[in-house]
Structure 1
Amino acid sequence: MSCGRYPAKAVVGEFVPVSATSYREGHHALGVNVVWRGPDGESEPFTRMRPGEPGLDQWHGLIRPDRVGRWTFTVEAFEDPYRTWRDAVVKKIGAGQGLEDLANDLADGAEVLDLALKIVAHEDEERVRAAAVALRDDQQSLFARVSPALDLEELLWSNPVRQQVTTTRSYAVWVDRKRALYSAWYEFFPRSEGAEIGPESTPIKHGTFRTAAQRIPAVAAMGFDVLYLPPIHPIGKINRKGRNNTLAARPVDVGSPWAIGSDEGGHDAIHPELGTLADFRYFLQVAKDNGLEVALDLALQAAPDHPWVKSHPEFFTTKADGTIAYAENPPKKYQDIYPLNWDNDYRALRDEVYRVVRHWIDNGVKIFRVDNPHTKALNFWQWLIAKIKETDPDVLFLAEAFTRPAMMNGLGKIGFTQSYTYFTWRTTAWEMREYMGQLIASLDWMRPNFWPNTPDILHETLQHGGPPMFKIRSVLASMLTPSWGMYSGYELFEHVARAGAEEYVDNEKFELKPRDWAAAERSGRSLAPYITRLNKVRAENPALHWLRNLRFHEVDNGALLVFSKRDLETGNTVLVVVSFDSSNVQWGNVTLNMPELGMDWHERFTVIDQITGTTYEWGQHNAVRIDPYVEPAHIFVLQQRN
C-alpha cells in the first residue's frame, strides 16, 4: 500500500469514488463528507458521503473534477445533531410516545434548527425558521409541530449542522485531460508511407513526412485520435541490423529506428530521409487539421555512433576491456544499441533527457510513448514527468512496459499516464474477466491501453485465428477499455510470423514496408470499415469513455464474455456479448444483472446491435447465438425508456 504517497489519477469530468471507514462511540448519528480543493487551492463545495452496507461503517461519495491539475481532498467525520434528533423522534413517535414525552426532544430540535439557520442558503432560511417556530409552538398538535422539521431531511443532508469534526490528512489526485483515459491510437512508420521497393526488396525510395502526411486522412477516417510514430531520429550506421534482425546489414538496409543516433544527430534530430523539422511541423499540422494528435516514441538508448558516445561516454557502461556494453537479454543480443547507465552521472543524463523532451514539446508534441521505461531509473521518471507537468500539465506519457505487475503499477504511481498491458495474452473469457478486475482495482494509479498487435507482438491467436479473430480482438480492445490502439497492417489481416517467434516476418522494424491500401479497399479485404464502425460506436456512446463502470454478466458458455457499461450522467448503456472462438458457432444463455443496467429485475427493454443494425427485445434471461463468420460479437445499445 502506498498510503497516499503518490497522487491518484482521474480525468476531467470523471466521477471519482472516494471511500472511508468511519465510526464513533454511542448512538449519535455520524456524518462524513469530502472536502476538496482545485489546482489553485480554491475550495469546492463539499461532497456528502453516504453509508454503505449496514454494519460495516463504510462511507462512499463521488467527486468530479472539472480542470486539469493537482487536486487535493480530505475526508471529515462529524456528529450530525439533526439526524441524531430526527432518528430519535421518529423512533419515539413510532413507539407511541406523545407530546408530554417529547417535550425535551422538541426543544432540542428547535435549538438544532437555530444552528442550521446559520448554514443554509438565504432562500431556505424562512423554511428552517418556520420549522423551529413550529417545534416551539405548544398550541399545536404533535404532528403539526414536528412535521416541518422532519421534512428538512434532504435540505439538512446537503447543509448539515456539524459538531465534533475530525479530519484525515490531505490526499492528492492528479487530473489529466480526458485523452489520458479515452483515446484511440494508430501506429505507423512514416518511412514506409510513400516508400517504393525495388527488385529483391531493394529500397529505391524512402518515405518522408510529406508522403506520410497523405496517409493521415485515412487514419482519421477510421476514428483514431492519436497517431503514434516510432522513433524519427537518425539511425545508427555502426552494427546496423539487416532484414529480420540479421547481424549482416546490406548497404541498402534502413536499420531499426530504435537504434538511435549517428553522425547525422541524436534524439533531438530528425532522420534526414524523413525530412526537416519544418516537414515534421507540417506533418503535425496536417494531423491536427484531421483531429489527430501525434505521439512520439521516447526511447532512451543509443546506437554506437550516437553523438552522446563521444560527448558523454559517462552515459554508458564501459566494460573491463574498454569497450562500451551493448544491450543484451540472453540469449538475445542487440549489438546496434547501447543502453544508458543511470549511475555514472545521473544529473547530467537527467538534464540532457529533459532538454530533449522539452525540445519536442516546444515543437508541438504533447504525447510520448516511452520505450521500456522499466529498464531506466524510476526516480528519473518521477522527476521528469513532474517537471514537465509543472509547465505543461496536458502532456501525456504512455509506458511500454510488458513486465512484472509490481513494476507496471509502480510506473503508474510515479506519474505515467497510461500503460501497455497483458491484454494480448489473455485469450479466454475467464482470463479476460479476471484480468479486468485487476485493472479496475488499480485504476487509481494505472490506466490500461489495449493493443491487439505491435511491431514486436503478433500473438498466435492472430497467426491462426483468421479474420474473425481480428474482429474479436479489436472488439475486446475497443469496448473493454477507453483507450486502445493498433499497429498498421492489422486492418489488412497481416498474420505471418517469423519462424519460432511471436513477431511478424519481414518485420517493419528493419525494412521499409509500403502497403497498397487502395487495392485492399477495392478488393474488400480490409478490416478498416469494421474498425471505423467500432471507433464510431465508441465516440457516440459516453458509457464507453470510462472504465470504472465496467460490469460483467453471467453466461453459461465459457467461450463467451458478457459485459456492460453505463454512463452515470446520461444513462447511456452499452451491452457486449463476444465470443473468444473464431472457428465455431457458440450458443449461450445470458443472465443479466438488471440493476447494473439501471432497471428492475422484471423489466423488458430494446437493444440495437451497432454492427448489424438488428433490434432485439431483451430481459433478464436471454439466449444468444454467435457465428464468428457472420459476426463474432453483439454490441448492443440499450434504448432509453419513456
Structure 2
Amino acid sequence: MTGRFPIEDVTPSVSCGRYPAKAVVGELVPVSAVSYREGHHALGVNVVWTGPDGEAQPFTRLMPGEPGLDQWHGVIKPDRVGRWTFTVEAFDDPYRTWRDAVTKKIGAGQGLEDLANDLAEGAEVLDLATKIVPHADEERVRDAAAALRDDNRSLFARVSPALELEELLWHNPVRQLVTTTRSYAVWVDRKRALFSSWYEFFPRSEGAEIGPDATPVRHGTFATAAERIPAVAAMGFDVLYLPPIHPIGKINRKGRNNTLVARPEDVGSPWAIGSDEGGHDAIHPQLGTIEDFRAFIRTANEHGLEIAMDLALQCAPDHPWVRDHPEWFTTRADGTIAYAENPPKKYQDIYPLNWDNDPKGLREEVLRVVLYWVGQGVKVFRVDNPHTKALNFWQWCIAKVKAVDPDVLFLAEAFTRPAMMNGLGRIGFTQSYTYFTWRTTAWEMREYIGQLKASIDWMRPNFWPNTPDILHESLQHGGPPMFKIRTVLASMLSPSWGMYAGLELFEHVARPGAEEYIDNEKFELKPRDWAGAERAGRSLAPYITRLNAIRRENPALHWLRNIEFHDIDNAELLCWSKRDPETGNTVLVICSFDSANVQWGNTTINMPALGLDWHERFEVVDQITGASYEWGQHNAVRIDPYVEPAHVFVVRPRR
C-alpha cells in the first residue's frame, strides 16, 4: 500500500494474493476491503480493474457496509476469459465532506453569514469536478459552482444545485490523497468452469457383448459408444467424461472384481495405462483409431457435449516409459519398481511416477501429452489422483496449458485431506470432487456447503452421487427414493454435478464389505439395456432430464455464491434458496434426507434472501410436479419420499 489511508482485508485474495482468485465470464465477483481514516472527513473507496489485454475497465466505486465497521463492498462482472488484475484505492472525497458539513450546518439553523467560507470552498471543489465529470455534465457542474458564488441568491437557491450533484459526483468523484493497494489477480474461465453437468461412461461397454461368466464376446468401440451420445445429451448433460482410452497393460493385469490373476480374455483396468501398443498418447486399439476418436468428439459436439478426458499419470509395468525412462519411477531395495499401494489395497498393475528423479524430463513429457490431446479437440481433463503428484508440477503444467489455450479446464479427482484439496484449487485446478457423497444428514450438508461457499474464490465443487469407485451405503440400502434425493441434492446445491452411468438404473449392489460396485466396470465390460429399462419404467433418466432442464432454465442455479439456507424445524429436511440478482430468478428447494418415511416441517424463510419484504406473500411453483402454492415467511411442508422426496420451487412474487 502506498499513500495516506489504511486499506486492509482486500477480497478476493487467495493466500494473501499469492494465487489468482477464480471467477467465470459473467459472474458477479464481490470485491471488498476495510478502509478508514482519521477525523470526520469523507473517505471514498474504489476498485480499478484491468482486463486480460491490459485495458482499464470502467471505474467501480465501492459502497460502505454496515455502519461502524469501515467495510466497503462492490461487484465487478468480467466479460472475457483470462487473467484480470485489480487494485483498491482509498481517497479523500472533498465533495462529500463539504456536502455533509453544509447539510448539518443548515439543519442546525446556520445562515448565509455562517456559511460564507463553506460556499466558497464548495465552489472550488466543483471547479475541480468540471474536469472529471462526463462532457455532457460539465455545464451543470459549472452552473452549480456559479450558484454557490452568486450573492444575489438565497441560501437555498445557492446550495441546492450543488447538493443535487450527489449521484453524479459519487460515480465521478473528486479524488485527493489517493492511496493504492498492491495488484491482485483473478483468473476468469469460461462459464462451464463453474456451471456444468457431467456424465461418465466407459466407451468399451457401449455396444459390447458378454457371454457366460462375463466373458467378453465383443468390445465396444468409439463408433458403438457414439450411439449412446444422443441419449446422454437428451438427459441435459453438457460434459461426457471418459475413463482412460489408452492401451491397457498386460503384465499384472487385474481380473474381474480386482482379482490378482486375470483370465486371458479379461479386459483389465483402463487406469493401468500402457503396453507394447503404446502409452498416454495412444488409443486402445479395440476402441478404434485416432480418427475414430476425433469423429466421436465431433458427434458429441454436434449434440452439445464436450468430451472430458481422463488424465491418469501412472503406468502399467509394460508402459513404454518404464522401458525408456526407468528414472521416472521408484526402484526398491531389491531392484524392482514399486507398484502403487494404499494399504490394505495393492495395485500390482500400476507403477506410480516419481517426480523427483528427473522432474524436468518428466514434466515436459506430460505437458507434451496434454497438449497433444488438446490438439485433438479435448478441452476438459478429469485428473486422476492429482494429490499423489507434485503440486509444483501441476501449478507449472496448468499454467503452460492455459497459456496455449485458456479454455482448457481441469477437474481434480482428489478425495483427500481438506488442505490438499484446497491447495490444488489454489494452484490452478478448475473444479474439484468433494466430500458430498459422505454428507448424509441435513445438518452435515448445510455445514459443508458453508465451507465450500467460503472457499469459492479458489475451489469450485463438483458433486457426484456415485463414481465407479464409490457406491455409498445410502444408495446401497436407500431404494429408489434415495437415488432421487442424492440426485436432487447434487444438481440443485452445486453449480456443477456429475454421475456415473448406472445411477439411472438404480444399480446398488456392492462388493461385500466394500463401498464400491460388485462386478465393477473398472475390470470388465458392462453393457446395459437402457431402452428396456425406460420402457419398463425402471429408469431415473426422465427425472434426471427434468432436473437438468430446471438447472438450464433458472440462472439462479448457475452460481454458488448466492446460496442461502432457511430454517426448518425438522432435522431430516434441508431448505435453501438461490437468487440471481440480475434477473431476479429465485429457486427455493426443500429436500428430505429420509428415503423411507413421510416428513413434515415448518419453514422460517429469510424473506430478503428471496428479494421480498418480511410481510409479503408469494407463489411457489414446483418444477417437478407443476403444483403451485401461496407461501409467506412461515409455511408447513409435507414430503413423502415415495411420491417426491423434494420440492424444487420457482418463486413468483405476488403483484
What's 1:275 paired with?
288
2:580 maps to which of 527, 549, 567: 567
Question: 1: distance between equivalents of 2:648 and 2:606?
Answer: 17
Structure 1, residues 385-424: CA drift from partner, whole Å, max 9, x if none?
A: 0001111000000000000000000000000000000000
Structure 1, residues 328-373: CA drift from partner, whole Å, max 9, x if none?
A: 1111110000000001101000011011101100000000000000
Structure 1, residues 417-452: CA drift from partner, whole Å, max 9, x if none?
A: 000000000001100000001001100000000000
How far 1:148 moved relative to its partner? 1.1
1:341 maps to which of 354, 364, 374: 354
How far 1:142 moved relative to its partner? 1.2
Is 1:526 the counterpart of 2:533 in the alignment?
no
What's 1:547 paired with?
560
Is 1:254 the counterpart of 2:272 in the alignment?
no
The amino acid across from 2:387 in the alignment is H
Question: 1: distance between equivalents of 2:212 and 2:568?
Answer: 54
Structure 1, residues 524-563: CA drift from partner, whole Å, max 9, x if none?
A: 1100000000000000000000110000111111111110
What's 1:285 paired with?
298
- Structure 1 unmatched runs, 5+: none
Structure 1, residues 263-289: CA drift from partner, whole Å, max 9, x if none?
A: 000000000000000100010000000
What's 2:594 paired with?
581
Native 8 Å contact 2:222 2:293 kept in 1:
yes
Is 1:175 the counterpart of 2:188 in the alignment?
yes
Matches within 5 A, 1:180-259: 180-259=193-272
SS of aligned partner of 2:485: helix
How far 1:485 moved relative to its partner? 0.2
What's 1:402 paired with?
415
How far 1:200 moved relative to its partner? 2.0
Question: 2: distance between equivalents of 1:473 and 1:481?
Answer: 12
How far 1:131 moved relative to its partner? 1.1
Native 8 Å contact 2:471 2:516 kept in 1:
yes
Structure 1, residues 117-164: CA drift from partner, whole Å, max 9, x if none?
A: 001111111211111111111111111111111111111110010000
Question: 1: distance between equivalents of 2:495 and 2:569?
Answer: 27
Q: TM-score scaled to structure 1, two decimals?
A: 0.99
Give the stretch that moved more between structures: 365-374 or 124-133: 124-133
Is 1:78 the counterpart of 2:91 in the alignment?
yes
The amino acid across from 2:513 in the alignment is G
How far 1:467 moved relative to its partner? 0.5
What's 1:436 paired with?
449
Aligned pair count reads: 642
Question: 2: distance between equivalents of 1:96 and 1:553?
Answer: 48
Question: 2: distance between equivalents of 1:81 and 1:64?
Answer: 29
Is 1:295 the counterpart of 2:321 in the alignment?
no
Question: 1: distance between equivalents of 2:480 and 2:159?
Answer: 70
Is 1:160 the counterpart of 2:182 in the alignment?
no
Question: 2: distance between equivalents of 1:179 and 1:109?
Answer: 51
SS of aligned partner of 2:396: helix
What's 2:651 paired with?
638
What's 1:135 paired with?
148
Question: 1: distance between equivalents of 2:133 and 2:259?
Answer: 75
Matches within 5 A, 1:387-426: 387-426=400-439
Is 1:26 the counterpart of 2:39 in the alignment?
yes
Question: 2: distance between equivalents of 1:125 and 1:639?
Answer: 44
What's 2:73 paired with?
60
SS of aligned partner of 1:616: strand
Give the stretch that moved more between structures: 93-102 or 611-620: 93-102
Is 1:17 the counterpart of 2:35 in the alignment?
no
Question: 2: distance between equivalents of 1:595 and 1:139?
Answer: 49
How far 1:640 moved relative to its partner? 5.0
- Runs of at least 4 residues of structure 1 off by over 2 A? none
What's 1:608 paired with?
621
Question: 2: distance between equivalents of 1:78 and 1:399?
Answer: 42
Question: 1: distance between equivalents of 2:385 and 2:107?
Answer: 67
How far 1:108 moved relative to its partner? 0.9
How far 1:641 moved relative to its partner? 5.0
Question: 1: distance between equivalents of 2:208 and 2:522?
Answer: 14
1:378 maps to which of 371, 380, 391: 391
2:494 maps to which of 445, 459, 481: 481
Structure 1, residues 291-327: CA drift from partner, whole Å, max 9, x if none?
A: 0000000000000000011000111011111111100
The amino acid across from 1:329 in the alignment is N
SS of aligned partner of 2:83: strand
1:266 maps to which of 268, 272, 279: 279
2:82 maps to which of 69, 73, 81: 69
Matches within 5 A, 1:296-311: 296-311=309-324
Question: 2: distance between equivalents of 1:370 and 1:391?
Answer: 19
1:123 maps to which of 136, 149, 160: 136
Identity %: 83
The amino acid across from 2:314 in the alignment is Q
1:113 maps to which of 99, 105, 126: 126
The amino acid across from 2:433 in the alignment is Y
Question: 2: distance between equivalents of 1:559 and 1:138?
Answer: 73
Question: 1: distance between equivalents of 2:503 and 2:346?
Answer: 28
2:519 maps to which of 483, 500, 506: 506
Question: 2: distance between equivalents of 1:140 and 1:588?
Answer: 66
The amino acid across from 1:302 in the alignment is C
Question: 2: distance between equivalents of 1:615 and 1:640?
Answer: 13
Native 8 Å contact 2:617 2:653 kept in 1:
no
Question: 2: distance between equivalents of 1:141 and 1:196?
Answer: 95
Native 8 Å contact 2:617 2:654 kept in 1:
no
Question: 1: distance between equivalents of 2:501 and 2:24?
Answer: 28
The amino acid across from 1:635 in the alignment is V
2:62 maps to which of 46, 49, 53: 49
The amino acid across from 1:84 in the alignment is T
SS of aligned partner of 2:68: coil
Structure 1, residues 572-623: CA drift from partner, whole Å, max 9, x if none?
A: 0000011111111110110111111111100011111000000110111111
How far 1:46 moved relative to its partner? 1.7
Is 1:594 the counterpart of 2:607 in the alignment?
yes
Structure 1, residues 179-213: CA drift from partner, whole Å, max 9, x if none?
A: 00000000000000000011221110000000000
SS of aligned partner of 1:574: strand
SS of aligned partner of 1:322: coil
Structure 1, residues 35-80: CA drift from partner, whole Å, max 9, x if none?
A: 0100000000121001111111111110110000000000000000
Question: 1: distance between equivalents of 2:310 and 2:577?
Answer: 34
2:117 maps to which of 104, 108, 111: 104
Question: 2: distance between equivalents of 1:201 and 1:439?
Answer: 42
Question: 1: distance between equivalents of 2:610 and 2:212?
Answer: 59
Question: 2: distance between equivalents of 1:103 and 1:317?
Answer: 84
The amino acid across from 1:113 in the alignment is L
What's 1:364 paired with?
377
SS of aligned partner of 2:106: helix
Structure 1, residues 199-250: CA drift from partner, whole Å, max 9, x if none?
A: 2211100000000000000000000000000000000000000000000101
Question: 2: distance between equivalents of 1:106 and 1:602?
Answer: 45
SS of aligned partner of 1:639: strand
What's 1:94 paired with?
107
Question: 1: distance between equivalents of 2:631 and 2:106?
Answer: 46
Question: 1: distance between equivalents of 2:115 and 2:549?
Answer: 63
The amino acid across from 2:397 in the alignment is L
- Structure 2 unmatched runs, 5+: 1-13
